[in-house]
Amino acid sequence: MTEKLLIILQIAGRRCALSALDVRSVIETGAITPVPRSPIWIAGITALRSQALTVIDCRRAIGLPDGEWPTDHRAAVVTEGGHSYALLVDGIEDITIAAGEAGQVPGGFGAEWSRVALGMIETMAGPALLIDLPALLAGPEAHRPEIEAAA
């Protein structure tokens, strides 16, 4: 198995992992220009040099109720569908190696988390939830009907 590099993040107090291949860079978040009338999980836009990034508040993009989470002064920059995003998280912790494939756990992770998770992955830093980037960036509205239907 090829070694899989992961970036370990804290989102809403949980340890999560993003594939390092997805993360272009980690930046210091500068001034964020809010985008009026956009979904609540879009914190605004910010500039990375001459490029505009859409800033996503991951806690809200998952669809979690508001909580008292700290926010890291750094953000992970990812690219999806030709657009670049900066992900706001509680903290960016480490880069580590995956110690296995992502797998499911009995009972799931809860509706909100299951939507954005590819599964649990064992890492050198302990188990983490591997995040499905497109699902995260689609926002909580994307699967709301399904969740409601399931409930």
Partner 1 sequence: MDDLLAEFIAETREMLEATGGELVAWEADPADRARLDSIFRFVHTVKGNCGFFDFPRLASLSHAAEDALADCRAGRREADEALVTGVLAIIDRIAVMIDAIEAGEEFPEGGDDALIAALEGGAEAPADSPETPLHAPAAAQLGAGPGGGEEQTASFRRSDQRTIRLPVELLDRVMSGVSDMVLARNDLAHRLRQAGNQPTIDGPFERLTTILSDVRDAITRMRMQRIETLFGALPRLVRDLSAELGKQVMVDLDGGDVELDREMIETIRDPLTHIIRNAIDHGIESPSARLAQGKREIGLLAIAARQSGNTISIVLADDGRGLDEERIAAKAVATGLVTAAERAAMPRDKILNLIFEPGFSTAEIVSNVSGRGVGLDVVRQNLEKVGGSIKVASIPGEGTTFTLQIPLTLSIIAGLTVDAGGQRFAIPQSYVEEIVQGSARALDLTRLGETALVTFRGLRVPCLMLGEVLGLTDGEAAKEPTLVMLRLASGDLFALAVEGIHNHGDLVVKPLAPAVMRSGLYAGSTLLDDGTPVLLLDVANIAAQHNLVSDTRTRVLGPLAEDAGAAAESAQRAMLFTDFAGRRSAVRLELVQRIETAPVAAIDRSAARPRVVIDGLILPLIGLPEAPLTQSRVRLLRLSDGACELLYAVREVEDAVELTEALAPVPEDPLAEAMTLIGGTPVTLIDAHELFARHGEAPQAAARPRCTLPDGEWSRAILAPLVTAAGYDIVDPAEAGAGAIGILFEDVYEVAETLGRPLPPCVIRLRDQPDAPAGAETIYRYDREGLLAALNAAAAAAARAHAGEAA
Residues interacting with partner 1, by CB under 8 A? 31, 33-39, 42, 45-47, 49-52, 54, 81-83, 85, 137-139
Amino acid at site 7? I
The residue (of 52 and 124) whose beta carbon lies closer to partner 1 is 52
Nearest approach, Cβ of 118 to partner 1 (angstroms)? 21
> Are the beta carbons of 126 and 120 closer than 8 angstroms?
no
> What is the DSSP code (8-state) at residue 39?
-
Nearest approach, Cβ of 135 to partner 1 (angstroms)? 13
The residue (of 61 and 121) whose beta carbon lies closer to partner 1 is 61
> Are the beta carbons of 112 and 11 closer than 8 angstroms?
no
Nearest approach, Cβ of 41 to partner 1 (angstroms)? 8
The residue (of 36 and 106) whose beta carbon lies closer to partner 1 is 36
Q: How big is the chain by its Cα radius of gyration, in Å?
A: 15
Q: How far apart are CA 15 and CA 142, in angstroms?
A: 23
Q: How far apart are CA 142 and CA 41, in angstroms?
A: 12
The residue (of 81 and 106) whose beta carbon lies closer to partner 1 is 81
Nearest approach, Cβ of 85 to partner 1 (angstroms)? 7
The residue (of 16 and 56) whose beta carbon lies closer to partner 1 is 56
Strands 14-19, 126-131: pairing kind? parallel
Nearest approach, Cβ of 74 to partner 1 (angstroms)? 18
- Closest by CA to 142, choosing from 30, 61, 52, is 61
